Structure 1
Amino acid sequence: MKKKSRPMLLTLSAMLVLTAALTGCSGKSGTSGTSPETTPKTAQTDNGGTPKAEQPGNPDGTWVLGEKPLEFTAYAHYENTNFPAWESTPAGKWLSENKGVKISMIAAAGAHTQKLSALMASDQLPDMIWTDRNHPDLERLREAGKLVAFDDYLDKYPNLKTWMGDNLNMLRHDDGKLYMFPNWYTSRPAGNAGYVVNKKIYDELGAPPLETTDDLYNYLVKVKEKYGSSVIPFEPHRAKDMQGLGVLYTAFGEGALYTYLNSSMRAVPKDGKLTSVFTDPVFREAQKYIAKLYREKLISQDAFTQTEDQVLEKVMTGRVAVFAGSSPTTMAGDAQPELIKEDPDGGYFMIWPIHKPGLDKNKIYPGTYTSFGWNAAYITTAAKDPEAIFAFLDWYTGPEGMNLQFFGPEGDNWKGFDEEGKPNFTADYDPAEVADIQTKNEPIMFVGNTSYIDPAKYKYMAELPFEEQDWRTKYQQTITWPTQYNVTEFVNLNPPPESEEGIIQTSVDELFLEIYANSVMAKSDEDVDRILDQGNEDLMALGYGKLLEWRTARWQENLKKMNQE
């Protein structure tokens, strides 16, 4: 899955979670407390409840939100993604009118690579660029001295440093400096990968066990026998991005991770080294199982070519029996209210991750997460006042900024903070208004703080009966978050694109996907082995071994950094 797609899906899921998350808040009067400073559980404030770091006229010279206007330009370096007009969003409008923060959004009209190249060539860079962490285009800017290092700001504006902790050091460049502000970073498990099951079909088939790979196969066979071509037994989302097929792979090994198949890794750790995926016994066993499902038409036959809209249509209409992927909760969560309108006993539910018989079900991880989230904001030397931009981002990622983005300005839906730094929701809390706020703010949530906002979202949810909780949130709490694995040690394993290893990676990625698809469509177990044997030889001829050596060295460097923390 593309780096950009996954965070946007997860972020969208996080936004939609609140649609019904706090429906039970009416009648619970929130009391105004003190605003948390940067530490999650303690706060030092003035008598008015405003953190000291935000008092006007600070003698230490720190930038203060609202003390003077702040204007800068911002650009989202992703294909088919542009920031909306700043004041068209609730948070942007409020910040513009009340704090003098105005951001001019630069659009690329779908030609993002060409747009940034033109901006670089003309030396008219945006003040802030939002894109993948370690994006090669941003590395080129760093090499040209066009990015601002954040090191001098971290203690003056400590939200990021406090909420990220020592893991922030893992984002430093080889020169020891920090150039990126991560988005949706976290110190707690996060993610939505797993299996969603169609409840109506499941009940009609007698609610059989769905725990092991044998159970799953038998169930899919029953689905096909009863419903024929009208229902897809197993929908793997976008197979070309691994997605649900990658989730199935994790069922065959304790600690087998979805991340091993991603472009940023394409390797399996063994005895301190990163080794070929295609020689991994667990991967081979999984591929034989998947190929069997495909041969017997228990998996979407257009899994490698179908579009996102085609998958969505099937999920929304209930034409899938089991749906798996890196974030199946997004589509299933949208479909849930529509399906139960027609049948209150229908809809979807999630199951504990499938495991091969004999394995420990609590050591199966269908999804992964890192402490750093997915994308990041960079400040360029074009900025007239880079410190002010960083200070704003740091405020935006802190408790007040996150609550503004999720619940609106203080005073209506929330007022003050409890002893743990979570917002106090008022008796006037309006679920429909909050849902609208989140949906409209989602495109400008560019420095999200998962560690803070997830517990805040769940504050009232925990008080509701399970059946009344928001569909996404209850399964995040009970299924997905407990079964996602921290893969922070495997970050930053992409070589520079112009390097020998970077060129090898491009060739390896193209051939890897071709081999992978061929193994899924194999005619027999023997055919799977033949395809993977030949595929591994072909990859090695392209330099796959050299790429694995380079990535092993970087992985070991990561482990040393983490052990020093």
Structure 2
Amino acid sequence: MKGNKRGKMLLACMVTITVLAGCSSGKSADTGGGGAKEATEAKINATGYPIVNESITVSAFAGKFFANADWNNIRLWTDYEKKTNIHVKWDTVQTDTLKEKRNLLLAGNDYPEMFYASAFSRTDLLKYGKQGAFIPLNDLIDKYAPNFKAVMEKYPIIAKGITMPDGNIYGLPTIYDPEFKSVLYGTPWVKQEWLDKLGLKQPETLDDLYNMLKAFKENDPNGNGQKDEIAWGAVGTDGLLSYLRGSFGLNNHGTANINVDTDPTTGKVRFVPTDPHYKELLQFVNKLYKDGLLEQDIVSVKSTEVDSKGMQGLLGVSDSVDPVAIYNQKGYVGLPVLKGPHGDQSFNAYGSPLGNIGMFVLTDKAKHPEAMIRWMDYFYSDEGIKLFFMGWKDETYKEDANGNVDYTDEIKNNPNGLNLDQAIGQYLIWPGGYYPGFVKQQFFKGAEGLPTSVENAKKAEPYVLPQDQVWPAFNFTQDEQSELTTIKTDIDSYVMEMKDKFITGNESFDNWDKYVDALQKMGVDRYVAIYQSAAERYVKP
């Protein structure tokens, strides 16, 4: 789900109902191969169930995870077919071959009526939308998707984030409920028992963090007489950097566009990885690394190695989800948001509430697009969300008098030795995180929904960016995307490469100006200019 943690979350047209009514460049009313026909013409029911009175079959392609049973027989879809009268004939592939298979289908003009859980990029949505293979969904949403339309109206960032610069919506997203704080943000976890044993308070400043980690490394808090503690355990440095960005005044619009934010001095888009404060951030993390306070193979360590140490209780700090969920280690609490060297104290590792926006796509081969938008819209309603994540009362979940739900013992403690994902994956398809829909705290039972995770988020909340300051990942015009593609990959890769070299000391900070000069030669000014245009479209009323 991190994806994020995700993972948070105006264009040329006012993106609310105006967009749904079709304020694009003359094309949003042209809904491709099916259009938003009148319900009587399509022989569907505009409200209620079944969606169609006479059964229809729809071809669909989807990415899935190994935990899921055969989608053509899995109960979620067979029961939903009885409710809707829509039979979906599923062609599924594992996610590791998803991109290759879906691209082959499109290249060979052998694609289905619907792509589901296929994770199309923004670039592909616009590309195939412009070509006519993907139909605009604007009018269909307006007429047949009241649940999704209500979400767009309540949270403008959703509408803005899924609408292309041409004014059209070509895909429906995974949405993480903006009210579900612990799935959207949460600080790393520290082992409270070690703090207590060493007589330490939770850190408030960068110096406090350094001293705490140093004490974890040197003072044997697990009491076994060995210096086997890992002060900060993680796979890669991104989690640590994300935690500290706000303490250095960086990423003041969140991390959905990780390398850009607004320069507080000029009010223009700033390239974060060349800012002096970013250099200071890397220098601080380099100090932690040099003094042995981080996992020493942090830039290359395998997750299995960190997991092994975590399950042994050797991690002082973990930047993943609550260690009780992944390492069976209790007693971790959220780290405070730290005050930085210039007085900044903000938690900016806040992505967009939008996950992938290309998780549900209708193609120009769709015979009944109005029926299928209704089919999908159900899973943006509370009833549909509950079915999607929890299944069936007294079979896969129990519900108390207050409406609280939890999986049955057969799911949580499966008699056949299946873990939770495998057990629920025999009935439902959400394990693995690939799906369009709406993730709500009430019905999501992953690690981010644990009471400890909720408390961690509450602790960070006073320092989290206001929602109206958070940018979604930007959408670009075809011309912008074409130009950006030629420079972005190289620039982003170089930034990632040099980040780890500076942190590990394989590159001296004496060469910082050479690093900045190299980015200039790679076209970073044009990179920033394109993002500036996208930012201006986003804030335009």
Q: Check whether TM > 0.5.
A: yes
Report the AA paired with residue 94 of structure 1.
D
- Whether 1:137 and 2:124 are equivalent positions in the alignment is yes
Range moving further from structure 2, 194-203 or 547-556 = 194-203
Report the AA paired with residue 249 of structure 1.
R
**1:370 maps to what in 2?**
352
Inter-CA distance 311–186: structure 2 relative to 1 (3 Å threshold) = same
SS of equivalent to 1:442: coil
**2:523 maps to what in 1?**
543
Give the deviation of 1:360 after TM superposition: 5.7
- Coordinate RMSD, CA, aligned: 3.8
**1:310 maps to what in 2?**
305
**2:150 maps to what in 1?**
162
1:84-122 Cα offsets, whole Å, 9 max, x none, are: 522565533432455445431421573333312321122
Inter-CA distance 192–237: structure 2 relative to 1 (3 Å threshold) = farther
Q: Is the 8 A contact 1:368 1:485 kept in 2?
A: no
Give the deviation of 1:214 after TM superposition: 0.8
**1:379 maps to what in 2?**
362
Report the AA paired with residue 379 of structure 2.
Y
**2:46 maps to what in 1?**
62
Percent identity of paired positions between Structure 1 and Structure 2: 19
Q: Is the 8 A contact 2:347 2:465 kept in 1?
A: yes
Inter-CA distance 278–56: structure 2 relative to 1 (3 Å threshold) = closer
**1:38 maps to what in 2?**
none
Inter-CA distance 538–357: structure 2 relative to 1 (3 Å threshold) = closer
Q: TM-score, normalised by structure 1?
A: 0.73
Q: Is the 8 A contact 1:407 1:434 kept in 2?
A: no
Inter-CA distance 93–470: structure 2 relative to 1 (3 Å threshold) = farther
Give the deviation of 1:64 after TM superposition: 4.7
2:321 to 322, 329, 339: 329
SS of equivalent to 1:72: strand
Question: Where do residues 109-508 of structure 1 align in structure 2 (5 Å cutoff)?
Answer: 110-126=96-112, 127-132=114-119, 134-156=121-143, 157-165=145-153, 166-170=156-160, 171-188=162-179, 189=181, 190-227=183-220, 229-239=227-237, 242-253=238-249, 256=252, 259=255, 264-270=257-263, 271-324=266-319, 328-329=320-321, 332-335=323-326, 338-340=328-330, 347-356=331-340, 359=343, 361=345, 364-375=346-357, 376-409=359-392, 425=402, 431-432=408-409, 440-443=428-431, 446-450=435-439, 453-454=440-441, 470-479=451-460, 483=464, 486=467, 488-492=470-474, 499-508=482-491
Unaligned runs of 5+ in 1: 11-54, 341-346, 416-422, 463-468
Inter-CA distance 268–280: structure 2 relative to 1 (3 Å threshold) = farther
Q: Is the 8 A contact 1:224 1:298 kept in 2?
A: yes
Unaligned runs of 5+ in 2: 8-38, 221-225, 413-419
Find the aligned partners of 1:256 and 1:208 in 2 and give their Cα distance: 28
Find the aligned partners of 1:404 and 1:384 in 2 and give their Cα distance: 27
Q: Is the 8 A contact 1:159 1:397 kept in 2?
A: yes
Inter-CA distance 430–323: structure 2 relative to 1 (3 Å threshold) = closer
Find the aligned partners of 1:178 and 1:101 in 2 and give their Cα distance: 24
Give the deviation of 1:199 after TM superposition: 2.7
Give the deviation of 1:77 after TM superposition: 5.8
SS of equivalent to 2:184: coil
Find the aligned partners of 2:243 and 2:273 in 1 and give their Cα distance: 17
Find the aligned partners of 1:321 and 1:168 in 2 and give their Cα distance: 37
Q: TM-score, normalised by structure 2?
A: 0.76
Inter-CA distance 7–208: structure 2 relative to 1 (3 Å threshold) = closer
Q: Is the 8 A contact 1:494 1:502 kept in 2?
A: no
1:314-343 Cα offsets, whole Å, 9 max, x none, are: 22322211122xxx226x24146x334xxx
Report the AA paired with residue 122 of structure 2.
H
Give the deviation of 1:83 after TM superposition: 6.8
Find the aligned partners of 2:94 and 2:268 in 1 and give their Cα distance: 41
Give the deviation of 1:183 after TM superposition: 0.8
Q: Is the 8 A contact 2:476 2:534 kept in 1?
A: no
Higher helix share: 1
Inter-CA distance 120–57: structure 2 relative to 1 (3 Å threshold) = closer
Inter-CA distance 81–178: structure 2 relative to 1 (3 Å threshold) = farther
**2:417 maps to what in 1?**
none
Find the aligned partners of 2:219 and 2:344 in 1 and give their Cα distance: 32
Inter-CA distance 398–56: structure 2 relative to 1 (3 Å threshold) = farther
1:391-444 Cα offsets, whole Å, 9 max, x none, are: 1110111111011123323687578xxxxxxx9756997653675586644247
SS of equivalent to 1:233: strand
SS of equivalent to 2:202: coil
Report the AA paired with residue 521 of structure 1.
T
Report the AA paired with residue 218 of structure 1.
N
Give the deviation of 1:202 after TM superposition: 2.3
Q: Is the 8 A contact 2:347 2:464 kept in 1?
A: yes
1:24-51 Cα offsets, whole Å, 9 max, x none, are: xxxxxxxxxxxxxxxxxxxxxxxxxxxx
